[in-house]
Every structure is written in structure tokens, then in C-alpha cells.
Copies of this chain bind each other. A is one copy, B any other.
Amino acid sequence: MTQRWKIIVEYEGTHYCGWQMQDIPQPSVQETIEKAIEKFSQQQVRLHVAGRTDSGVHAYGQIAHFDFINKHNMGGYDLCKAINAHLRPHPIALLHAEQVDENFHARYSAKNKLYIYRIVTRSAPLTTDAGRAWHMHRTLDSAAMHEAAQILRGTHDFTTFRASECQAKSPIRDISDIKVIEKPYDDYGGQDIRIYVEGQAFLHHMVRNIAGSLAYVGLGKWSNETLKNALESCDRTQGGPTAPPDGLYLARIDYK
């Protein structure tokens, strides 16, 4: 009998075309996991994901579900272990697997998502964190970024922060929480800045476009007023630049 399984997935997205298959030579995270499941179970499964991520974007807590026949009546721990063994040496790992009700849907049942956007500022290039953060050379005013970010909290038309190729029907989204936290990156004044953005759903490139605009605030290029006007203009050309995928992490997805 077919069972529905929910999995929590972590990945380093640098060398993938994103979650979904694209018309480029790099593999997708999705097909890589589907192949691993097929190798261990001899079943072709289809993964349904909570949040598709773009090329170069990482995840600590991506959620997906799939249906399969659990011939050997495996538990979640063994299932993870078996699939992870077939995922090697890919930087993709299942952190958890559990059987769920057939009404569960990774995407449609999701109530809340947390994205973290990471910016590291320092003069020197990144080494251990290359590809894992947006590297900026100039120091940012993270307190100003946090204050400005509060303008975006709540329900708004986020057209200003929406990619032109975004296919969502409505540009209205609700940011339930947004904060900017700074820690020292090194002993030489480098900053490790993380933007936490929570909401039920996001538009395409929305978090990266918000990060790009908040970086403008941090650099002193934009005032709170500029950000407010940009949001209210509902015009993508009034928004800041799209921050690179390197800094974006899908950190957590909550269900009822």
C-alpha cells in the first residue's frame, strides 16, 4: 500500500540548477534526491516541495513529500539513512523523514516559512564562506536596516520586490516577522549580518530583492522614506538590486 512520506532536506545549492530541473547542464536538487530514492527502493517517485529554490540558494529545512510503497516497512531513521547513502557524495542530506497522512501536502499545507539572507562585509574576499553569503566590501548600518525592514512587515502589494518572471496570481503577501541581526565576522571589523524573513508564502526573488534594498539602506544610499516609497510604488524598477543567491537559506517551514 502506498504511503506518503514527509522529508526535511538540507543542501548546499552552489552547484545545482536549483530545486527544480532547468534547461542547463547542472543537476537539480529534486532529480538528485528522486534518483537516490529510486536506487534504494526501485520505485520512481515524484517529490513535491514546499519552496522551490533557485540556483545557488541553500536550505537547512526544505520540506518535500512523496508517495511510495514501503515494502520493508522501514521507519523514518532507516529510510533517511538508506536515501542518504545513495545521495553521497552530493552535498544534499535528509535530516528527518516521517510518514504523514495522505492529506498532507508539502506546499499547500505549509503555514509559515523562514528564510535567512546572509551578508558578510569585509575588505578581503571570502574563503570558507565563498558561495555561502553575499560578500560586500563596505560596512553596513545593520540597525538602520532593521528599522527600515519594519516598513515591510505586514500585508502589502510586493510588486516592487517581485521578479518579472514571477507566476504568482497575486502580488499580495504577508510578512509576519522581519529582523536584521549583526554579529562580528572576524577580528578585523567584518560583519556577519542575517536578515530573517517569515511569512506563509513569498513571490519569486522576493527575499533577494528585499535583501538588495535593505543593503542600500545599510549603505546609506536609501532612507526609510525611499524604501517606503519604493514599496508603495508597486514598481519593480523602484526596488533595489536582486541580491545574489549565495546568501539565501530556506531555514524552516512550519505546518499545523
The answer on a CB contact under 8 Å between B188 and A123 is no
Let me know if A77 is at the binding interface, CB within 8 A: yes
Q: A95-B188, A186-B60 are in contact. Are A127 and B80 (CB under 8 A)?
A: no
Q: Which residues of B are found within 8 Å of A95, using beta-carbon distances?
A: 122, 124, 186, 188
Q: Which residues of B are found within 8 Å of A88, using beta-carbon distances?
A: 125
Question: Residues of A within 8 Å of B, CB-based: how many?
Answer: 32
Q: Which residues of B are found within 8 Å of A84, using beta-carbon distances?
A: 124-125
The distance from the CB of A74 to the nearest CB of chain B, in whole angstroms, is: 14
The answer on a CB contact under 8 Å between B126 and A93 is yes
Copies in the complex: 2
The answer on a CB contact under 8 Å between A124 and B60 is no
The answer on a CB contact under 8 Å between A91 and B10 is no
Q: Which residues of B are found within 8 Å of A127, using beta-carbon distances?
A: 10-12, 91-93
The distance from the CB of A60 to the nearest CB of chain B, in whole angstroms, is: 7
The answer on a CB contact under 8 Å between A94 and B10 is no
The distance from the CB of A149 to the nearest CB of chain B, in whole angstroms, is: 25
| Nearest neighbor of A124 in chain B, beta-carbon distance | B93
**A200 to B51, alpha carbons, bound, how many Å?**
50
Let me know if A96 is at the binding interface, CB within 8 A: yes
**A128 to B125, alpha carbons, bound, how many Å?**
19
**A124 to B10, alpha carbons, bound, how many Å?**
9
The distance from the CB of A124 to the nearest CB of chain B, in whole angstroms, is: 4
**A12 to B129, alpha carbons, bound, how many Å?**
9
Let me know if A205 is at the binding interface, CB within 8 A: no
Q: Which residues of B are found within 8 Å of A124, using beta-carbon distances?
A: 10, 80, 84, 93-95
**A60 to B58, alpha carbons, bound, how many Å?**
23
Beta-carbon contacts under 8 Å, A46-100 to B: 58, 60-61, 77, 80-81, 84, 87-88, 91-96
Q: A58-B128, A91-B130, A130-B91 are in contact. Are A81 and B12 (CB under 8 A)?
A: no
- For the A-B complex with A8-B188, A80-B123, A81-B123 known, give 14 more contacts whose Cβ atoms are closer than 8 Å: A10-B124, A10-B127, A10-B186, A11-B127, A12-B127, A60-B128, A77-B123, A91-B126, A91-B128, A92-B127, A93-B127, A94-B124, A96-B188, A128-B132
Q: Sorted from nearest, which 7 A-B pairs have the closest CB atoms?
A: A91-B127, A93-B124, A12-B128, A12-B127, A93-B125, A10-B127, A93-B127
Taking Cβ atoms with an 8 Å cutoff, the residues of A that contact B are 8, 10-12, 58, 60-61, 77, 80-81, 84, 87-88, 91-96, 122-128, 130, 132, 186-188, 252
